[in-house]
């Protein structure tokens, strides 16, 4: 048999082989390169210095150590997280761009008439990275020793008491609206520009209770200027085990658990999603990471991609119901 006939026979054999076998027989350099080969970025819908930024940087540093590649945090604040989300969903789905998805993403879907992205359809979920709750706090000199005391007073004198939160439409603000709805309260919810302003309002007794994330008021709590009455999570927060939940304190069914998670553009290879999920699980289990998260009021937590999607879709429905019932106009 001449050489040309042999070559043709060899070619027919190769074409008949399954692709996986051809790859296995190929030289090592032809096989797919291991991910990641270059720096990875995580786009945040927040500015530098906040809880989400600090906790994300802790994660990024640890992931960088595991991967042997830098993991960079890119801050891209903007209304509703729109700029950050558009950047991620428009990126090449090659495993080198991820984004931070939060409870605020669910609120944006519920609060805006339309968004230039659809997180349910365009986000490839990876894992949650942290959980944190709201707290209900009063002036330490207040007559209200428990959330039950506040609820009783509010029902005894409808329309008299005020509850402070930051900006209308925020998790804190909607959390207060949910409390008002479930407890059947006639109170005025007063949105302030920022956390320091609402603390001042509480200390002046312009408002009688505030709803806020723990880190924003922890200094005043430590100084005994404010007293925490309850938390919003479904079960007692291990960072505040002596503080009852709102449900325990007299509002059955009340549950607000804020969260942060990591997502990628739709179409990102499953192998990359699985590798990133496994790495995040390893990082979230590290004692020093748990301790660092606890310092900023966050519980380190990892999940499956499906569990993260379930959180998002569940919160979209929850906040849409709250917004409609409160009569808050959609933007």
**DSSP category for residue 330:** P
Side-chain-side CA neighbours of 108 within 13 Å: the count stands at 21
With CA atoms as reference, report the closest residue to 266 among 108, 110, 85: 85
Banded model confidence at residue 8, pLDDT cuts 50, 70, 90: low
pLDDT digits (tens, 9 = 90+) for 221-268: 999 999 999 999 999 988 889 999 999 999 999 999 999 999 999 999
Question: Are residues 18 and 51 in contact, defined by beta-carbon separation less than 8 angstroms?
Answer: no
Distances (CA, A) of 162 to 66, 177, 199, 230, 245: 49, 12, 13, 17, 21
Q: Helix (H, G, I), strand (E, B), or coil: what is residue 327?
A: coil
In this prediction, residues 13-31 reach a mean pLDDT of: 42
Task: Provide the token pair at 295.
Answer: 């310092």
- Give the start-to-end residue ranges of the domains of the chain: 40-131+257-326, 135-231
In this predicted structure, what is the pLDDT of residue 20? 41
Res. 106: pLDDT tops 80: yes
Using DSSP bridges, classify how beta strands 162-165 and 188-191 pair: parallel, antiparallel or unpaired. Answer: parallel
In this prediction, residues 88-94 reach a mean pLDDT of: 97
Res. 29: pLDDT tops 50: no
In this predicted structure, what is the pLDDT of residue 240? 86
For the chain, the average pLDDT equals: 89
In this predicted structure, what is the pLDDT of residue 68? 96
Per CATH, which fold does 40-131+257-326 belong to?
Answer: D-Maltodextrin-Binding Protein; domain 2 (3.40.190)
- The H-assigned helical ranges of the chain are 3-16, 19-25, 51-67, 82-89, 103-111, 119-122, 147-156, 171-183, 195-203, 214-222, 270-284, 287-295, 305-326
pTM (two decimals): 0.84
Does the fold of domain 135-231 match that of domain 40-131+257-326?
Answer: yes
Distances (CA, A) of 160 to 54, 62, 155, 230, 264: 39, 50, 9, 21, 47
Task: Provide the token pair at 20.
Answer: 């996986």
User: How long is the chain?
Assistant: 331
- The H-assigned helical ranges of 116-269 are 119-122, 147-156, 171-183, 195-203, 214-222
Between 285 and 12, the higher pLDDT residue:
285
**Distance of alpha carbon 297 from alpha carbon 291, whole angstroms:** 10
**Distance of alpha carbon 292 from alpha carbon 140, whole angstroms:** 28
Residue 102: how many other CB atoms lie within 10 Å: 23
Res. 162: pLDDT tops 80: yes
Question: Are residues 95 and 264 in contact, defined by beta-carbon separation less than 8 angstroms?
Answer: yes
- Sign of dihedral through CA atoms 331, 318, 262, 284? positive
Distances (CA, A) of 47 to 79, 123, 132: 12, 21, 19
**Residue 311: its H or E element:** helix 305-326
In this prediction, residues 269-287 reach a mean pLDDT of: 98
Res. 94: pLDDT tops 60: yes
The arrangement of secondary structure in 135-231, i.e. its CATH architecture, is 3-Layer(aba) Sandwich (3.40)
In this predicted structure, what is the pLDDT of residue 13? 46
Task: Provide the token pair at 33.
Answer: 């390169």
């Amino acid at each position: 048999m001449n050489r040309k006939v042999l070559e043709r026979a060899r070619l027919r054999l190769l074409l008949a082989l399954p692709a996986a076998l051809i790859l296995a027989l190929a030289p090592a350099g032809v096989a797919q390169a291991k991910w990641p080969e270059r720096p990875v970025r995580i786009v945040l819908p927040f500015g530098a210095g906040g809880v989400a930024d600090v906790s994300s940087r802790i994660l990024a540093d640890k992931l960088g150590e595991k991967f042997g590649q830098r993991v960079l945090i890119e801050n891209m604040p903007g209304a509703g997280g729109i700029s950050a989300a558009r950047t991620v969903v428009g990126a090449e789905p090659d495993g080198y761009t991820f984004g931070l998805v939060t409870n605020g993403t669910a609120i944006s879907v519920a609060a805006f008439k339309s968004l230039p992205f659809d997180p349910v359809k365009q986000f490839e979920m990876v894992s949650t990275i942290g959980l944190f709750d709201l707290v209900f706090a009063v002036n330490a000199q207040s007559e209200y020793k428990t959330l039950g005391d506040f609820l009783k007073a509010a029902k005894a004198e409808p329309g008299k008491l005020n509850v402070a939160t930051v900006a209308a439409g925020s998790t804190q603000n909607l959390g207060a609206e949910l409390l008002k709805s479930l407890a059947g309260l006639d109170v005025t919810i007063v949105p302030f520009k920022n956390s320091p302003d609402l603390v001042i309002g509480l200390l002046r007794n312009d408002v009688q209770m505030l709803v806020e994330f723990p880190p924003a008021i922890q200094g005043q709590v430590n100084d005994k200027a404010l007293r925490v009455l309850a938390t919003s999570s479904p079960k007692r927060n291990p960072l505040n085990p002596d503080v009852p939940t709102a449900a325990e304190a007299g509002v059955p069914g009340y549950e607000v658990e804020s969260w942060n998670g990591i997502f990628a553009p739709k179409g990102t290879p499953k192998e990359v999603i699985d590798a990133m999920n496994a790495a995040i699980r390893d990082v979230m289990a590290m004692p020093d990471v748990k301790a660092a998260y606890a310092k900023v009021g966050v519980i380190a937590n990892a999940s499956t991609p499906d569990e993260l999607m379930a959180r998002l879709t569940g919160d979209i429905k929850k906040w849409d119901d709250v917004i409609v019932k409160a009569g808050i106009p959609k933007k």
